[in-house]
Amino acid sequence: MVRKRLSVFHFLLAGTICGETIPTEYAAARDTTLPAKATKAANSSGVVKKPVVSRPRSVKASGPGEAIHVTGRTASPQGVTGRQPGGGLMRLETRAGTIQSVTRDFIAKQPPSANPVQVLSLTPSAFVTLTEPYGIAGGNLTLRGLPGDHVGWIYNGAPVNDVGDGGFYANQTSDGDNLKSVSLTPGSVDIDTPSISAAAGAAYADLIDPSHKRGGFVDFSYGSYDMHREFVRLETGDIGKTGVRAFASFSNTAADNWRGPGKFTRKHVDFKLIKDFTPESRWTINASYNTNQLQLDMYPTKDQFAQYGKKLDYSSHFNKSNPTDYYKYGLDAFQNLIASAPLSLKLADGLRFDDTPYLWWGSGTIGGVSTIEDGQTFSGNQPVDVNVANGTTVYSPLYFSYHRTGNNAKVTWTKGINTLTFGWWYEWSRTNQATPVSYINQNDGGPANIYGDYGPNIYRLANGKKWYLNNHNTFTQVNMLYLGDKLKLLNDKLELQAGVRLAMVSRKVNSYVPNIVQNRGQNVFEPLPQFSASYTFNSHHQLYLRGSTSFKMPNNNTMFELYNVNGSMSTAPSDNVKPEYSINEEIGYRYHDDIFVGDISFFNYNFTNRQMAVLSYFGSAPMATTMNVGNQTSRGVDVQLATRPIFGHFRPYVSFEYLDATVDSDIHYLNDYLRTKGKRPAQTPHEMGALGVDWDNGHIFLDLNLKYVGSQYATLLNDEKLHPYISDSLTVGYRFSNVWYLHSPQIQLNFQNLAGSLYRNGVYSMTPFAHPTTGVYGTQYTSASAPTYTLAPPLSVSFSMSTGF
């Protein structure tokens, strides 16, 4: 069956073959012209869920690339060129290894609030689910069967995963109007990628460059569920002869929760400045500030969904007798700043220096509530004296505060056919995780402060200190040295690369409430070799192979325990959890000509020390604990095929992935093992396929997208399944000619879930088993736990008006 599927796609690719080097192509800048043809000019209780412009690059600055000579009409103020393959769902790549990229031609036609995860949904390797229609709350990503916290995210050169657990929160990065491109490298990372959370691969997102022309751009959107969004970007253009240009933008977005009470709100600022020293040297400053307040939802089991549909959710009314399900306690409030300042300098012929300092700051909470009982007030595992009456409802959110700074520097030396790269990435971070206790209005139920950790309305101990149920600081220090060599042979047709990253991570946790152990530490050393080769027959054909290794640090919550208000432990620490280690091999073929662009890649992953949170005994009590659960194998094939405009203005795109993944170990559970060896990992569709059809004549445009997601299991024992489904979206719009000071004013309609179907679109929390089972050594487990699911947002329509000026 697999051979049959592959042969069809192989035939489609082979049928396009004609007979010259594969250039790297970028989404055109807003003030460049439309490419007509590229030419070579010079030389990317269960299981708990928790490039420089003068040097184009395929994913990020990493050496010489291809220059694009362009002719024809200019790009629209939204960045649409009308020439990118597949409507912006593919671009030409030269990297030895799989790259799946989306560019402005596609991004600009999505809802303007779209985030970096959302725009990847049609790529073959990415399985993306949204819990609300506009991307305000981010989105969930699974990559070739691995959860999103195993993907290293790099934003404008800076790592932006949660340094503690690897999570990525897409709504905290750029506005959709400013998003230049997003690229996935599933299974591998470039040698200079600064990440300790990239066992499944990496993703790279970048802001658009400031225009050389003074002006700006505005975009106003209105939509279903009382959605409104206001966006403005101001451009300085070239400032005299200084070589400096910049933009700054602001957006305000809000929408009602489609499932129940509450709202989603987001305010965001993006800033970018470029200083060009010479055509081959520049300095860039990027900054993104974000503040959001998101409404959390309850996620149903299979039976609850059948009974209640979307109606199982928090209550819109405060009930004194049952206060815990009030919607105001289900809030996610966060604010953060991401800044980076990449510097790229040509020091001499063949010698370059690249340096990216960055910082990341953020703080916020995930809401929670507790009810006080007399004599049951604890801080950590010790009772404390707090002046609070029996039966009082208190606000007890999870509070997070991050301070993170680092620098990634490298020197690249090219001599003849050889290019040598040496670099050093250093990072220091502090993460505070706490559970403060603060006031709730006992009449209407509103928390006095949604952040919970500052202000006057905080409960205090008898000694005047703040009352914390939990309070921990995690300090993480990363040193990564990397050395790589690239060799070009046979008139540059054969390219060989080899290198190694040496990752040294030191982590310690200090606890400021009474715990079993107040201070814990962990030191990790991981050598990460990689090798790749590519052979370019001519400007149409390229073969490549790649072998690489990567890893993911254990979550920092393995190093401390968490307690409830009554002193009971909610999660337990783990001893000696090892980093998850991945070995990836892939072989692929690329083809392109003036019409077709295609890529097919076969891949194989082997994972050791898979990390998972499962029930285990801590002392005599069953407790959710993160541990290493053995090995996993994932293998399959990815296919992408796209065209430039055909039949006038059509640019279709198709993608497909077949994924065969197995758990290679029985997983420890309580005092026995579950029979998981040979089972399929949860949240891993067997096959996915996508179709994108773009039609754009410069004025009228239409963009239709369909994604098929195959069945997936929701438990480790594969005893509950989520059935296949197809998601869809449609964009229609019209660009007017320039009028007065307005540049190509545009109207756009975005439709999502055209049929309005209500269905489960993903697994929110997988569990070990949904039905009673027997362990490897005969233990009878009769207490099953049903997995929970996310729900696909219903039909939603948004209308946008935008223009350059």
- Enter the pTM of the model: 0.88
Burial 388-397 (b: 16+ CB within 10 A, else e): beeebbbbbb
What would the DSSP string read from start to end of 311-328? G-S-BSS--TTSGGGBGG
CA pair distance 160, 288, nearest whole angstrom: 12
Q: Are 596 and 9 in contact (CB under 8 A)?
A: no
Quote the CA–CA distance of 286 and 178 in Å, as a whole number: 12
Least confident of 207-221, 571-585, 712-726: 571-585
Structure tokens at 616: 């285990």
Q: In angstroms, rounded to a whole number, what is the distance separating the alpha carbons of residues 440 and 437?
A: 10
- pLDDT tens, 263-305? 999 999 999 999 999 999 999 999 999 999 999 999 999 999 9
φ and ψ at 362, to 5 degrees?
A: -165, 160
Is 767 within 8 Å of 717 (Cβ atoms)? Answer: no
Q: What is the mean pLDDT of the chain?
A: 88
Q: What is the mean pLDDT of residues 442-458?
A: 81
Helix %, strand %, coil % for the chain, to 5? 5, 50, 40
pLDDT surpasses 90 at 128: yes
Surface-to-core class of residue 71, CB atoms within 10 Å of its CB (0-12 exposed, 13-18 middle, 19+ buried): exposed
How high is the pLDDT of residue 621? 66
pLDDT one-digit tens code per residue, 504-548: 999 999 999 999 899 999 999 999 999 999 999 999 999 999 999
Alpha carbon separation from 207 to 58, 219, 560 (Å, rounded): 15, 17, 37
Residue 165 has pLDDT above 80, yes or no: yes
Check residue 619 and give its pLDDT.
Answer: 64
pLDDT in tens, 208-220: 999 999 999 999 9
Per-residue pLDDT of 670-688, as tens digits, reads 889 999 999 999 999 999 9
Cα 142 from Cα 446, distance rounded (Å): 35
Q: How far apart are CA 434 and CA 364, in angstroms?
A: 11
Residue 536 confidence (pLDDT): 95
User: Given this model, what pLDDT does residue 617 score?
Assistant: 65
pLDDT value of residue 666? 94
The pLDDT of residue 779 is above 60: yes
The answer to whether the CB of 131 falls within 8 A of the CB of 791 is yes
User: Is pLDDT above 70 for 27?
Assistant: no
- 39 vs 312, residue with greater confidence: 312
Model confidence band, residue 43 (pLDDT cutoffs 50, 70, 90): very low
* Lowest-pLDDT range of 133-147, 317-331, 658-672: 317-331
How large a percentage of the chain has pLDDT more than 70?
90
d(CA 44, CA 754): 34
Percent of the chain scoring above 90 in pLDDT:
75
Instruction: Give the pLDDT confidence of 55-96 residue by residue, as tens digits.
Output: 333 334 333 333 333 334 567 888 899 899 999 999 999 999
Mean pLDDT of all residues in 640-663: 95
- Report d(CA 472, CA 467) in Å as an integer: 13
Helix (H), strand (E), coil (C) string for 142-195: EECCEEHHHEEEEECCEECCCCCCCCCCHHHCCCHHHEEEEEEEECCCCCCCCC
